[in-house]
Amino acid sequence: MKKLYLSPLPFLLILTLLFSGCTEYQYITVKQKAPKISNSFISENDTVKVNYEFSGDNCPLIITVFNKLNKPVYVDWSQSSIIIKGKSTPLWSNNSRTIGSTNNLQINWDKTFSTSYGNFEAITYKDEKISFIPPHSYIRVSRVYLKNNFFDHLNKNSSKEITLATNAGGDPARMFSFSNNDSPMKFRVFLSVSPDKDFSKHLYMGKSFWTSDIISSYTKPEALVNKQNHQCYIKKTTGFGIFMGLMFALGLGTADYYTSHK
């Protein structure tokens, strides 16, 4: 009776591909509702100058607040919000966050046996509720992500095929364009600022934005050239890549079985 022998390599490959597959991206361009003066999104008064940025995975909102005074200025994040579809979300949460990293070491004793060691390091912290900004200095914070899932049910009739400039030349993509009226995501940012520590004098600042373009592509962000200002992205893994990976790995296992029985 012959014993069935399968190399562990194909099955390790299956596990790897189950967590990979093909990754699809949506690149999102954000515009400000006010008339465009420059490539920057800025609000300012006699006290502060606020700059808004949108870039990176899951579209983080990055806010820079510059103090124009000769005295400290304070930002109350618990009284500051982002408003999407009428729903207000504070830019501060009382919850703690943990950021950790794992360090691994593997020793290969021979071709079939190895030993692995690892340790996990983590830091738990809270975002500050009120930020102190010294005279003529600034802070830069990122407290919220705009989007972590795909825009679905986009109208293909309102799109066009384009070519994204990449390091390798160019990749095909599809771009959906919107006006401020039919944009799939419109939102406002509301900030509470004060030159007084007790906030006896409030300065409220607000700015409105909208999504003007969504580009669907399989091109990775690091491959793009001529990146646009205020363009962020979201991503998802498709089932096609996982399916093809499984078929390839099973094929390797079958080939390995027949090779071992020749």
**Which pLDDT value is given to residue 4?**
46
Distance CA 79, CA 143 (A): 13
SS3 222: helix
**Which pLDDT value is given to residue 250?**
54
**Which pLDDT value is given to residue 122?**
56
pLDDT confidence bin for 226, thresholds 50/70/90? confident
Bridge-based pairing state of the strands 231-238 and 203-217? unpaired
pLDDT confidence bin for 217, thresholds 50/70/90? very high
Distance CA 88, CA 68 (A): 28
3-state secondary structure 45-79: CCCEEEEEEECEECCEEEEEEEECCCCCEEEEHHH
pLDDT confidence bin for 229, thresholds 50/70/90? confident
Where is 10: in which H helix or E strand?
helix 8-18
**Which pLDDT value is given to residue 127?**
81
E strands, the chain, in order: 22-32, 41-44, 48-54, 56-57, 60-67, 73-76, 81-84, 87-90, 97-108, 114-125, 130-133, 138-145, 159-166, 169-177, 186-194, 203-217, 231-238
Quick one: tokens of 140? 């830069």
Left if phi > 0, otherwise alpha if psi is -120 to 50, otherwise beta: which for 223? Answer: alpha
Q: Which amino acid is at 69?
A: L
- How high is the mean pLDDT of the chain? 81
Distance CA 66, CA 134 (A): 9
| CB-count exposure of residue 168 (10 Å: 0-12, 13-18, 19+) | exposed
Quick one: tokens of 245? 């990976």
pLDDT tens digits for range 100-127: 555 666 555 554 455 555 665 656 557 8
What residue spans define the domains of the chain?
Answer: 22-94+128-234
Task: Answer whether 233's CB lies under 8 Å from 1's CB.
Answer: no
**Which pLDDT value is given to residue 255?**
47
Model confidence at 210: pLDDT above 70? yes
Model confidence at 86: pLDDT above 70? yes
pLDDT tens digits for range 31-51: 998 766 667 899 999 999 999
pLDDT confidence bin for 17, thresholds 50/70/90? very low
